[in-house]
Amino acid sequence: SGDGLITFMSGSVAARLEDEAFWAGLTRLGELGITGDGLVTFMSNSVAARLEGKAFWVGLRRLGDFGIVGPRLVTFMSGSVAARLSDEAFWVGLRRLRELGIVGEGLVTFMSESVAVRLEDEAFWAGLTRLRELGITGDKLATFMNGSVATRLENDDFMDGLSSLCSELSPLATVE
């Protein structure tokens, strides 16, 4: 009602109100615990457009293997994540992140639009390796990462600046 309805109604949702598959999709989301305010947050143009697709539902279930369920799923989902659910490179990236200790709530914190689109970019992974060399791993990495960091991981000047900060702040130690 009110504000929630205004937020929920995007162009893509409005175009689907007469579609039975849309309503069936909302029922299935309810079965996953995505209702009320969570549904409002979860829904985006790209999600609404995918409610009919088998790959979307398979992807939601696969996210459970990474600890992304219920409220975490609501927070995790964004337009770029929804668009990547059928892309095997996205899943390879999630497995690589799991190997770095980034799962569940940490994965939710770590993931952003700019991270999701970089999961198949080797320069991104090279940047994560450099961060690991600076002692930024696991939960610390999840907290450290944001869109602006993700877009700069391949920038040598940025990475050199981080290395210098580490040396200045705590020589021979890691950033806590």
124 pLDDT more than 60:
yes
Mean pLDDT calculated for residue range 95-99:
92
pLDDT of residue 11: 60
18 pLDDT more than 70:
yes
147 pLDDT more than 70:
no
For residue 30, the one-letter residue type is: G
Distance in angstroms (rounded) separating the CA atoms of residues 96 and 90: 10
Sorted by where each begins, the domain ranges of the chain are: 88-176
Distance in angstroms (rounded) separating the CA atoms of residues 78 and 75: 8
Q: Tokens for 61, please give them.
A: 């279930």
Distance in angstroms (rounded) separating the CA atoms of residues 8 and 23: 14
- Own/partner contacts of 5-14, CB < 8 Å, gap of 24 or more, are 7/40, 8/39, 8/40, 8/43, 10/43, 10/44, 10/45, 10/48, 11/45, 12/44, 12/45, 12/46, 12/48, 12/49, 13/43, 13/45, 13/48
9 pLDDT more than 70:
yes
pLDDT of residue 159: 87
Tens digits of residue pLDDT in 63-79: 999 999 888 888 888 76
Closest Cα to residue 43, out of 86, 85, 67, 11? 11
Longest dimension (CA), the chain: 62
91 pLDDT more than 90:
yes
Instruction: Classify each residue of 2-18 as buried b or exposed e, where b means 16 or more C-beta atoms within 10 Å of its C-beta.
Output: eeeeeebeeebbeebee
